[in-house]
Amino acid sequence: MSKENYQIRPMNKEEVELAVNWAADEGWNPGINDAHSYYLADPTGFLIGLVDDEPVAVISAIKYNKEFGFIGFYIVKPQFRGKGYGFALWQAAMTYLNGCNVGLDGVVDQQSNYRKSGFELAYRNVRYEGAFSSALEMEDTQPSTLVSPAFNLQQIQDYEQPFFPAQRNRFNEQWRMQSNAHALAISTEDKIQGYGVIRACKNGYKIGPLYADTVQCAKSLVVSLIAKVATHDEVAKVYLDVPECNPQAVALAESLGMSVVFETARMYTKEAPKLPLERTFGVASFEIG
C-alpha cells in the first residue's frame, strides 16, 4: 500500500449510493432506495478509501450515540484486495467508533478475523427466500386483528424503540417512507402489536424490520406485506432476515415454504444488547443493524 497516494475520508451523500452499488455487485442485494436512509443514520459514518482519487474501498461506521455503533459495507474493489487498503479503512472506522459497543453482521467464516478486533459472536441471522403470489392463505391469523398502513407516528416510534440499542427515529421514518416501500402496523383495540416494512431490492423484495408480539401477528404482517408487492399474474421473490435464536421466527419462515440462502454472524465488541429477540421476526438491515 502506498500511503502517499491513499486517502481516507467521509463519503458525501452521492458516494453512499456507490457503496450500495458495490454491495449489489457482491450479491448482498440491498434495497434500491436504501442509500438516503443509510446516510440519515449518520452522515459522517460512511468512509471511503481512494488511491489517486479512485475509490478502492468503502465501509460504514454508524455512530448512533456515544455508546453504540455498527459496522457494515466493508468492501474493497477486487483488484485492490490484499494490499492493506481495506485494513487501513477498517482501522479508521473502528477509531471513529472508539468507546462504543460495536455490532456487525459478518460473513460466518470470517469470525476469527473479527475476533482479532474484539468482536464476539452473539447469534446468527439467517436469510430466507421465498417466491409468492398474492394468494397466500391467512390461516392462524387473528380475524380481529387490523393490519393498516395508517398509524400514529409517536406510537410507532415508541413501539420500535426497544428493538434497537439506540434511538434512530430519522432513519426509521425515512426507511418506511422510501419509494417502492410499504409499511404496515398491526393493532387490536388501538394497541400496536406489530410492525413491518417491505421494500424493493436489486432482486425482489425484503421484509424488514418485522416486529410482532406473537407469531400470529407476525404472519398477518408477512401475508399483508407480500400482498402489497405480489399479484396472481406475477410471482414476487421475497427475503426475510431472521434471528436464528428466535425459533418462532424460523418456524414462520419455514411454514411459508421459504428456504435458507445466506447467514451472518451477529457480533459485538462488548456484551450483546438486551433486545426482545423473541419478538424480532425480521432484521431491518445487515448493513447498519
Residue % of the chain over a pLDDT of 90: 82
- For 195-204, what is each residue's pLDDT tens digit? 999 999 999 9
Which architecture characterizes domain 3-124 according to CATH?
A: 3-Layer(aba) Sandwich (3.40)
- For 150-170, what is each residue's pLDDT tens digit? 778 888 999 999 999 999 999
What is the pLDDT at residue 145? 57
Question: Do the two domains 3-124 and 126-262+270-282 of this chain adopt the same fold?
Answer: yes
- For 62-103, what is each residue's pLDDT tens digit? 999 999 999 999 999 999 999 999 999 999 999 999 999 999
Question: Which amino acid does the sequence have at 161?
Answer: Q
139 has pLDDT over 60 = no
CA distance linking residue 277 with residue 97, whole number of Å: 25
Question: Which neighbouring-strand residues pair with 58?
Answer: 48, 75
CA distance linking residue 206 with residue 173, whole number of Å: 17
Output the CA–CA distances (angstroms, integers) from residue 157 to 10, 83, 117, 163, in the order listed.
29, 44, 33, 11
What does pLDDT average to over the chain?
92
* CA-wise closest residue to 194 among 186, 202, 183, 184: 186
Fold of 126-262+270-282: Aminopeptidase (3.40.630)
> Domains of the chain: which residue ranges?
3-124, 126-262+270-282
Among the residues of the chain, which ranges form H helices? Answer: 13-25, 34-41, 85-96, 111-115, 153-160, 169-177, 215-229, 247-255
